């Protein structure tokens, strides 16, 4: 199927041609060529629910053809020296830099996050490329002293082969960068299935990577990409040729992916739901805390896995913080994410908007009449927001809810700008509330007391994978390992030593003598 070049119907979409997109696009990059034989998907602008362009998704036949070529390319790529692989990733980073503004604008247009966040997301991949280039010369093993004479023990790290990456709509390309940049320098081929509702980003990103591979006379199948739905995702999870599957999405779907991958003894890296809390102590810088909560709760329209969903305030500063926060919420500019000054764009889909409405109804329904008898508040009291905004797009009001930490709705992740506020008396109580939910991704505390800080980051503190002090729960740097505990999945991506998940470790013992001494002093014959 071949589509002719044609112009975009809307002037504001013309920039898409600068990153290789046309009104009708093929959505599978298979063995270095673009093809697709699956259903046609229309990419939609969440700010007005109007179509942007069409993408033909992949079929199972496309998938099989792509995996066959990818398996062959893996044998070539893993033999390329790691610093040479790093050079290819460096070139990918440079190619992304050249299109930073256009790609960032596409992220904003198709996903719905405001333009500074869209550009920031693409910059995050560029930063990951830079990190991976340096890493390509530091994939070091260990030399281990042997207890046996004339023996040497060492560790070697080798590529897994193929890494599957399944990403979500909220960070449609940054999460690819966390995984693919590291996987590539570690000597793995990458198979990417982008989110079904952000296919244009998948196509545009893959075009840039493919051009770099082609320029260097490398097999295009080193990076294979599919636009598609659950059928392609299930194929990746079941495929024994894929040694590691990195999945980003809900805890419910992630558990199913993990079970499928485990059944074939594959490796799984999960980045799942978050239900993140900020604790504000009585000695906190309140101005700093309020600014941080605003970004953490309202940024990306509450659709980050690291969004602050619970605000835990010390009783002595509770009303002061709440009054200031309600005031700044009422000043948030809601509108087109591409317009300067907008802080809150739309939710990603009409379904997301409906889920927000359902969530608000559940919050209201859990309010109990026992409050009039001065019993503890269990249900929610909406302090600001709580409604959808009538428009063509998927806009909702940023919402603050006063609620008990024991309410069932607080334990769940509502992927929208809804902030649950609750109070505490002691640090121990605050930490208990923080740790009381099934998820364990990100957390933060605002305080200036060293004894509180070190308890917070210690064994009796936060049980999350990200434990911050005096900063928001979101906006993580790429240099640290990103991921969480419990129902968040336990995976770690991006920086630190996350690269070890993308390689196979071997412990090697070498006997360079003429005797055969056995470990533990065993004498066998």
Helix, strand and coil in the chain, % to nearest 5? 40, 20, 40
Q: Is 294 exposed, middle or buried (0-12, 13-18, 19+ CB in 10 A)?
A: buried
C-alpha pair distances (Å), 239 with each of 195, 245, 263? 19, 10, 11
Rounded to whole angstroms, how far apart are CA atoms 64 and 409?
42
Half-sphere exposure at residue 80, Cβ-oriented, CA atoms within 13 angstroms: 25
Rounded to whole angstroms, how far apart are CA atoms 201 and 55?
11
Task: Tell me the torsion sign for CA atoms 167, 170, 171, 175.
Answer: negative
User: Of 333, 338, 301, 350, nearest to 13 (Cα)?
Assistant: 338
Q: Provide the token pair at 283.
A: 């000695």
Rounded to whole angstroms, how far apart are CA atoms 58 and 240?
20
263 catalytic per annotation: no
Q: Are 45 and 125 in contact (CB under 8 A)?
A: no
Rounded to whole angstroms, how far apart are CA atoms 388 and 398?
9
Active-site position among 124, 271, 402, 413: 271
Q: Are 383 and 364 in contact (CB under 8 A)?
A: no
Spell out the residues 6+ positions from residue 255 whose beta carbon is closer than 8 angstroms to its own. none
Rounded to whole angstroms, how far apart are CA atoms 404 and 420?
9
Residues 123-141: b if buried by 16+ CB within 10 A, e if exposed: bbbbbbbebbbebbeebee
What is the spatial order of strands in the sheet that 189-193 belongs to? 33-35, 28-30, 223-226, 189-193, 162-166, 244-248, 267-271
User: Of 419, 489, 480, nearest to 274 (Cα)?
Assistant: 489
Phi, psi of 369 (to 5 degrees): -70, -10
Rounded to whole angstroms, how far apart are CA atoms 468 and 35?
45
Q: Provide the token pair at 386.
A: 């709580």
The per-residue DSSP string of 350-377 comes to: HHHHHHHHHHHHHHHHT--GGGGGTPPP
Q: Is 54 exposed, middle or buried (0-12, 13-18, 19+ CB in 10 A)?
A: middle
Q: How many CB atoms lie within 10 A of CB 450?
A: 8
User: Of 200, 149, 152, nearest to 172 (Cα)?
Assistant: 200
Catalytic residues: 271
């Amino acid at each position: 199927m071949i589509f002719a070049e044609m112009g975009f119907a809307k002037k504001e979409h013309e920039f898409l041609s600068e990153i290789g997109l046309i009104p009708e696009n093929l959505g599978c990059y298979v063995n270095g060529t673009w093809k697709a034989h699956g259903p046609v998907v229309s990419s939609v602008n969440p700010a007005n629910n109007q179509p942007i362009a069409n993408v033909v998704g992949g079929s199972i036949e496309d998938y099989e053809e792509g995996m066959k070529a990818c398996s062959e390319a893996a044998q070539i790529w893993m033999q390329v020296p790691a610093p040479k692989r790093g050079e290819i990733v460096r070139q990918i980073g440079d190619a992304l830099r050249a299109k930073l503004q256009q790609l960032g604008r596409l992220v904003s247009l198709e996903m719905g996050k405001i333009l500074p966040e869209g550009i920031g997301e693409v910059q995050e991949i560029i930063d990951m490329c830079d990190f991976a280039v340096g890493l390509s010369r530091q994939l070091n093993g260990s030399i281990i002293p042997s207890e046996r004479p004339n023996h040497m023990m060492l560790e070697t790290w080798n590529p897994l082969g193929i890494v599957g990456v399944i990403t979500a709509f909220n960070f449609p390309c940054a999460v690819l960068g966390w995984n693919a940049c590291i996987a590539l320098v570690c000597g793995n081929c990458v198979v990417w299935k982008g989110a079904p509702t952000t296919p244009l980003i998948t196509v545009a990103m893959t075009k840039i990577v493919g051009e770099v591979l082609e320029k260097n006379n490398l097999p295009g199948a080193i990076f294979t990409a599919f636009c598609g739905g659950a059928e392609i995702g299930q194929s990746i999870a079941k495929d024994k040729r894929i040694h590691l599957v990195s999945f980003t999405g809900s805890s419910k779907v992630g558990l199913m992916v993990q079970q499928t991958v485990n059944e074939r003894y594959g490796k799984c890296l999960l980045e799942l739901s978050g239900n993140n809390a900020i604790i504000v102590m009585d000695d906190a810088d309140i101005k700093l805390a309020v600014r941080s909560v605003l970004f953490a709760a309202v940024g990306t329209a509450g659709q980050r896995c690291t969004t602050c969903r619970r605000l835990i305030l010390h009783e002595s500063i509770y009303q002061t913080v709440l009054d200031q926060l309600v005031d700044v919420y009422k000043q948030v500019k809601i509108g087109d994410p591409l317009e300067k000054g907008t802080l809150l764009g739309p939710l990603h889909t009409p379904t997301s908007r409906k889920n927000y409405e359902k969530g608000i109804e559940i919050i209201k329904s859990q309010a109990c009449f026992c409050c009039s008898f001065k019993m503890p508040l269990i249900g929610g009291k909406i302090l600001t927001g709580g409604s959808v905004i009538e428009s063509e797009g998927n806009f909702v009001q940023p919402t603050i809810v006063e609620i008990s930490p024991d309410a069932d709705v607080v334990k769940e992740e509502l992927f929208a700008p809804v902030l649950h506020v609750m109070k505490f008396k002691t640090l121990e109580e605050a930490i208990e509330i923080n740790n009381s939910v099934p998820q364990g991704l990100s957390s933060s505390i605002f305080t200036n007391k060293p004894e509180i800080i070190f308890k917070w980051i210690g064994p009796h503190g936060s049980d999350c994978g990200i434990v911050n002090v005096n900063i928001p729960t979101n906006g993580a740097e790429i240099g640290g390992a990103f991921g969480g505990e419990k129902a968040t999945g336990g995976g770690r991506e991006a920086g630190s030593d996350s690269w070890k998940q993308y390689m196979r470790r071997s412990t090697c013992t070498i006997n360079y003598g003429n005797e055969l001494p056995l470990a533990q002093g065993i004498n066998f014959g």
